[in-house]
Amino acid sequence: MPGKHVPQDAAAAGQLCRRCRTSEASLVVRTEPLCRDCFIRYVSTKAVKRMESFRVRHSTPDQTRKLLLPMSFGVSSVTLLHILDYQLKNQTAKTGRTGFQLLVVHIDTSAVEKNAPDPSFMSKLQARFKDHSYATVPLKDVFETPSSYSNDQNIEVDPTPTSDQLSTFLATLPSATALADVLSTLRTRLLVAYARQHGCEAILWGDSTTRLAEKTLSETAKGRGFALPWSIADGQTPAGIPSNYPLRDLLKKELTSHANFVNPPLTEVVYAPEPTGPVSTSSKTTTIDDLMKAYFESVEENYPSIVANVVRTATKLDAAKFEEGDERCSLCGMPVPDGKFGIHGWGGDQHDVQGVSPGEQTEALCYGCTRSVPKGTTLPS
């Protein structure tokens, strides 16, 4: 039976930090009382260890490696930027150069998403972390750029404006879950394309353990379980750009505490949408992602090991084998071996709630995208 929850700072009251043995503990981290300084060091060390391959000794003075950091202005991505900024400053102080450069990119969805963060947050980040490159890219650009997943890189780009096309396309989606799924897919597709165009060696995602656990179950429920090995694990992806998750060993609540403890706090550059109240399973605006987020953020309070176990188990999955010449999904770009597009192509007893019969799907979509995009929908050019 779950015990009564005790706030971390209250549980730490009167205890000495278990690491330095001199300062009073500020909070309890996974049963270990830590002071403010030791806790900040604990979080930074966890992330920096995941960046081992990007140390100065792995780069050359005449060619610094470039890494893309997607910025949502949430506590996780902002905290990752703070940690990497500090790491780069230390590298410069010790060796006179850095092992990598950061390109911080925000995908602006404010034209199609109500609770999207204001792009002006980027100027606040630039003022605080001045030594990096920054870019804000509107979501509509995803259809103005040749797909980074495409086998044919000589695609002609349609010069017509795509803002209206994108809005019209999103308006056809049948549910809040479908909309959230497609927006996430388009953001990822645009980030990958941007990384490739600007010569980035890898993408550093700011996902915490909690976020990766949420994604594991929500992606599975949405029919994207086949892509989990590429979407939650470090390493190469079908897009040709490796993914790296430096915060994968840290819970979201730990990142929130870290953001409040650093001086000055990161709260002024973290976007916090207005609270919407308890998540209702009956609400038409509630998504699978919302449900998983509410579930794991409650579980991590008293049972953080459950959250970590979900992620550890999922990372043991083997990625499906694919060839460079395999056909790709028109929307997400994932390989579809043997051209088994749509729901019915995957076999088994599949019931298509959108009424798509075999051979009727107008776009070459994978199983997950077919579940989100209704019959007869044409993707914007």
- What one-character-per-residue DSSP string does 322-367 give? --TTS-B-TTT--B-GGG--TTGGG-SS---TT-PPTT--SS---H
364 domain residue, yes or no: no
Please check whether residue 368 lies inside any domain of the structure. no
Spatial CA neighbour of 254 closest among 45, 105, 89: 45
pLDDT reading at 344 higher than 90: no
Decide if 356 contacts 377 (C-beta within 8 A): no
pLDDT value at residue 120: 84
**Residue 137 belongs to some domain of the structure:** yes
What is the C-alpha separation between 138 and 113, in angstroms, rounded? 12
Under DSSP, the state recorded for 54 is G
Compute the Cα dihedral for 227, 231, 235, 236 and give only its sign.
Answer: positive
How far is the CA of 132 from the CAs of 129, 156, 198, 328, 349, in angstroms? 7, 32, 14, 34, 51
Task: Report the range out of 17-26, 327-336, 365-374 with the highest average pLDDT.
Answer: 17-26
Question: Which residues are CB-contacts of 324 (< 8 A; sequence separation ≥ 6)?
Answer: 151
Q: For residue 49, is pLDDT > 70?
A: yes
* Backbone torsions φ then ψ of 159, nearest 5 degrees: -75, -5
Dist CA 249 CA 246 (whole Å) = 8
pLDDT in tens, 115-150: 889 888 899 999 999 999 999 999 999 887 654 444
Torsions phi, psi of 36, nearest 5?
A: -60, -50
For the chain, how many residues are written? Answer: 381
CA distance 1 to 168: 49
Residue 221: domain span: 54-322
- In-domain check, residue 163: yes
pLDDT digits (tens, 9 = 90+) for 22-38: 999 999 998 899 999 99
Q: What is the CATH number of the domain that holds 263?
A: 3.40.50.620
Radius of gyration, CA atoms only, the chain: 22
Burial code of 349-366, b = ≥16 C-beta within 10 A, e = fewer? Answer: eeebebebeeeebebbbb
Residue-level pLDDT at 381: 61
Q: Model confidence over 57-105: pLDDT tens digits? A: 777 777 789 999 999 999 999 999 999 999 999 999 999 999 999 999 9
Of 9 and 148, the structure prediction assigns the larger pLDDT to: 9
Domain count, the chain: 1
The pLDDT of residue 343: 74
Q: Are the beta carbons of 82 and 266 closer than 8 angstroms?
A: yes
pLDDT at position 9: 61
* 3 in a structural domain: no
The chain-wide mean pLDDT, for the chain, equals: 85
- CB neighbour list of residue 152: distance below 8 Å, 6 or more residues apart: none
Nearest to 110 by CA among 133, 140, 135: 140
> CA geometry: angle at 114 spanning 108 and 118, to 5°?
45
Pairwise CA distance, residues 286 & 290, whole Å: 6
Is 130 a member of any domain? yes
Q: Which residue has the tokens 């403890």?
A: 261
Tell me how far apart the alpha carbons of residues 310 and 299 are, in angstroms, rounded to a whole number: 12
Secondary element (H or E) of residue 205? none
d(CA 251, CA 303) in angstroms, rounded, equals 11
Residue 104, phi then psi, degrees to nearest 5: -95, 120
- Please give the single-letter amino acid code of residue 30: R
Residue 266 pLDDT level (bands cut at 50, 70, 90): very high
Q: Say if strands 65-70 and 32-34 run parallel, antiparallel, or are unpaired.
A: unpaired
Within-domain flag for 354:
no
Average pLDDT of 210-215?
97
> What pLDDT is recorded for position 152?
38
For 81-107, the DSSP string reads HHHHHHHHHHHHHHHSS-SEEEEEEEE
| Structural element, H or E, at residue 161 | none
pLDDT attached to residue 336: 85
CA 240 to chain centre: 17
Q: Using omega within 30 degrees of 0 as the cis cutoff, is the peptide bond preceding 264 cis? A: yes
Share of the chain above pLDDT 70, in %: 85
5 occurs within a structural domain: no
